[in-house]
Amino acid sequence: MRFALLFRAAQRESRGARGRLAFFTACLALGSFAVVGVSGLARSVRAAIAAQSKELLGGDVWIRAREPLADELVAALDAEPDSERCEVRLVQTMARATASGQSRLVELKAVGAGFPYHGALVLEPPGTLDARLDDGAVAVASELAAGLGLCVGDELALGVARFRVAALVLDEPGRLDPTFTSGPRVFSTLAGFHSMQLEGVGSRITYGALLALPPSAGPAAEWADTLSERVPMGEARIDSHEEAQPQVQRAARQVERYLGLVALLSLILGGVGVAEIVRAWIGTRVASIGVLRVLGFTPREVLWMYAGHVLALATVGSALGSLLGSFLPLCVPRFLPELLPRGLTLGWQPLSILRGIGLGTLVAVAFSLPALAAVWRVPPVRVLRHEAEPLPAKRALTLAALGALIGSVFVAAWVQSEELGLAAGFTGLVAALLGVLALGARGLTRLARWLPRERLPASLAHGIAALARPGAGVLGAVVALGLGTLVVVTLLLVETRLSARLTSALPPGGASLFFLDLQPDQRAEFERVLAAEGAQDVRIVPLASGRLTRINGLSAEAQALVHGEGRGRWALTREQRLTWQQELGPDNHLVAGELWSDPQHLELSLEQDYAEDIGALLGSPLTLEFSGLPIEFVVTSLRQVEWESFGINFFIVAEPGALDAAPHSLLAAANVAPEREQRVQDALVAACPNVTVIRVRSILEKVSYVLSRSALAVELLGAFTVAVGLVLLAGVASLGALRRVREVALWKVLGVTRGGVARLFALEFALLGGVAGLLGALGASALAWAFFEHVLEFDSDVPWWTAPLAGLVAATLAALCGLAACAHALHTRPIESLRS
């Protein structure tokens, strides 16, 4: 058949399709809005970072290491013609307002002249860092000033030195929201940093160099690659501005991947909705299809005609949602500014619209195919006999429709996640969930058919009977609404339980404060301050850093070839922190060997998973190097550690006294009542200014806050799935409008008032919604329980009232939506429908 005729026929079929178009749009627009919104946001963040990368980094190249940069590297940088270099030191330390004595953990950045080379800090009073800073002055973030009650000109103690606050930092390009950092920023000069005397043994300082390259140097990434090939970098890592904001870029990729799949779920439910609408619509077109067949249309031509119509409606529906979704990146910075680095401006992402339209139409057409395949079976003789047997189903067509359905979900998941394994897993999970819900729907229909209704009140009997009626749309409504409920309830359960766990009291005996960088000669003063402030369970352990050089007689490099993945690689190539002690804490359990049992060798006890990662066994010889001095040990015990106890624990523990002579610092922990934490911190920072205090509660609160904000985004997307489910329910109710109108007329003729009829319908929809919600919530409880038990290994009970409550909410929403969709039928006069 010529395309023009096919197009004309599909176009004519569109007449009077306003209602259908509305439901297509409602079903697909929500899903495509979510898909385009998520993809557009992630793309927008990446594009903005790429466009503003130099400003975000402050230079062209950033080199950093946990130790001073190697002399060879510094010499090579000195020899670079025309490039500018600014030395940087980064460290987390305590800042104390000398006037009030209040202290706070800050992220100190000591910089040389010229910082930053690109972009600009916004200071108050206005000016550059070079102009404002001297060796006795610092610039502090405005939130630190607010927190400690500081003004410009006030005094701030950092380490053993005192500084004048010369300026407030109002804006720092590339800086993340304080929620995502350890503390507010403080800028100092390099000389000022040295005067703080923070560079003790075990201190965690990042030594860096920020470079501005001349235009002749070419692309910064290539320049960086050439440098790292030419010069031994040692521990140092080098990043060009193109790799700026790695955490944000990684987060954007994760958002695109995982939230993209949650968004896809809404679109898939939209597909289920479209399938239901198409099924109901084709049901009303059987007579017309019979006439078309009589006039000489082949089954294939009729199928194309209706598929063309579905394609057109799907394109319009998803285009509308996609267009709206493409504006999401412009709204996010306004409503959730803390999610993005400062100074990042997001742009409109028109290209994402194509993704939304593409996926929307793919899902809609694929999900419609099984329903559309019914047109193939309409026999032409139906124009003569209504009860004519349908033509035999075409097996190839049925299989192709099923294949297209599964294939489309897989392709869409692949497009969204860009990962084959994840796409396959998602497809499998969706198929399994839809399958379980479909079984539930079928069970419900059977139950409704089987249930004796004679003794039930009339309205309840009618509601149950309606569920058993052929074409009641139970399958689609239960699957869509059930899956929507499942997604939302699972997310809510996981988030609330996890948050509760994070913000609840610390485990008994767990430490609430950790103290880093304590030097051995400060121990007595430290113990005095803590005793005076009433700290409990004070525990102090020595801490040394060593590098693993040989395991089982093999060099660490050789071992890394075998165990070079993940933690194994980290352990074999980076400095390891370890302690030495006589007895293990109660949160350590020996699983093999015996502690300090070999008088012939120096002994080590390893955490069992760590031992596996580095390829060490009980009895393995192991060499650690401390400041260039190798010391040989033998592994004599393996331990299991309860990390969630919040105690001081190490992967490597040496026998007592083994490393007393090695350069080391002390690590301490204590349990302090929440209301006394600030006092203890302030007193300690005054007495031992180089010590960094980590407050576990505030970290847990931050993690909980970040978790709740991230969960909010997922839950909002999840809510889309429920919305699609409700739209679907309303769509099914509305498509049966003709039947409803007749029913209403009959009920009214029999003497039932309009309110009475509304109650009958409300009960029918409420039953449908209630069962869908109940099934969804039961599934969600099972998923959440499995997640806690097997992934997080928490004991977490799911509240018993989850499923009934979800069922009740879903029932109410379903009743409201169903009634709204039947409003027209309720208002039609009985005589109008009976006459027709």
Nearest 5°: phi and psi at 556?
A: -60, -35
Place of tokens 């369970």: 537
Distance between CA atoms of residues 685 and 678, nearest Å: 10
Q: Are 488 and 809 in contact (CB under 8 A)?
A: no
Nearer to another protein, 2 or 334 (CB): 2
Which amino acid, one-letter code, is at 130?
D
Q: C-alpha 332: how far from its chain's center?
A: 16
Nearer to another protein, 379 or 776 (CB): 379
Shortest gap between Cβ of 320 and another protein (angstroms)? 24
What is the helix (H) or strand (E) element at residue 653, kind and residue range? Answer: strand 652-654
| Residues linked to residue 640 through DSSP beta bridges, in sequence order | 589
What does DSSP say about strands 652-654 and 575-580: parallel, antiparallel, or unpaired? Answer: parallel
Nearer to another protein, 398 or 698 (CB): 398
User: Rounded to 10 degrees, what is the CA torsion of 368, 370, 376, 380?
Assistant: -80
Distance between CA atoms of residues 610 and 589, nearest Å: 14
CB neighbours of residue 825 within 10 Å: 22
- Cα distance between the two ends of the chain: 37
Nearer to another protein, 7 or 801 (CB): 7
Place of tokens 């379980």: 436
What is the helix (H) or strand (E) element at residue 350, kind and residue range? Answer: none
Shortest gap between Cβ of 372 and another protein (angstroms)? 17
Nearer to another protein, 334 or 386 (CB): 386
Shortest gap between Cβ of 741 and another protein (angstroms)? 16
Shortest gap between Cβ of 732 and another protein (angstroms)? 22
Nearer to another protein, 141 or 735 (CB): 735
Concatenating the DSSP letter of every residue in 255-312 gives: IIIIIHHHHHHHHHHHHHHHHHHHHHHHHHTHHHHHHHHHHT--HHHHHHHHHHHHHH
Distance between CA atoms of residues 331 and 508, nearest Å: 44
Q: Are 322 and 372 in contact (CB under 8 A)?
A: no
Task: Name which of 274, 483, 434 is nearest 360 in CA terms.
Answer: 274
Nearer to another protein, 12 or 827 (CB): 12
CB neighbours of residue 437 within 10 Å: 24
Q: In residues, how long is the chain?
A: 836
Nearer to another protein, 292 or 777 (CB): 292
CB neighbours of residue 372 within 10 Å: 24
Nearer to another protein, 13 or 607 (CB): 13
Shortest gap between Cβ of 286 and another protein (angstroms)? 12
Nearer to another protein, 290 or 476 (CB): 290
Shortest gap between Cβ of 737 and another protein (angstroms)? 16
Shortest gap between Cβ of 5 and another protein (angstroms)? 5
Nearer to another protein, 233 or 372 (CB): 372
Distance between CA atoms of residues 73 and 52, nearest Å: 28
Q: Residues 308, 311, 315, 316: is their CA dihedral positive or negative?
A: positive
Distance between CA atoms of residues 376 and 397, nearest Å: 9
Shortest gap between Cβ of 374 and another protein (angstroms)? 15
Shortest gap between Cβ of 748 and another protein (angstroms)? 25
DSSP three-state, residue 541? strand
| Residues linked to residue 666 through DSSP beta bridges, in sequence order | 518, 542
Nearer to another protein, 132 or 293 (CB): 293
The two tokens of residue 55 are: 């400003």
Shortest gap between Cβ of 381 and another protein (angstroms)? 4
Distance between CA atoms of residues 421 and 409, nearest Å: 13
Nearer to another protein, 574 or 739 (CB): 739
Distance between CA atoms of residues 218 and 655, nearest Å: 54
Shortest gap between Cβ of 801 and another protein (angstroms)? 51
Distance between CA atoms of residues 563 and 546, nearest Å: 19
Nearer to another protein, 204 or 300 (CB): 300
Shortest gap between Cβ of 280 and another protein (angstroms)? 17
Q: Are 366 and 318 in contact (CB under 8 A)?
A: no
Q: Which residues make up the interface to another protein (CB under 8 A)?
A: 1-2, 5, 8-9, 12-13, 15-16, 287-288, 290-301, 379-381, 383-385, 388-389, 391
Shortest gap between Cβ of 256 and another protein (angstroms)? 43
Shortest gap between Cβ of 294 and another protein (angstroms)? 5
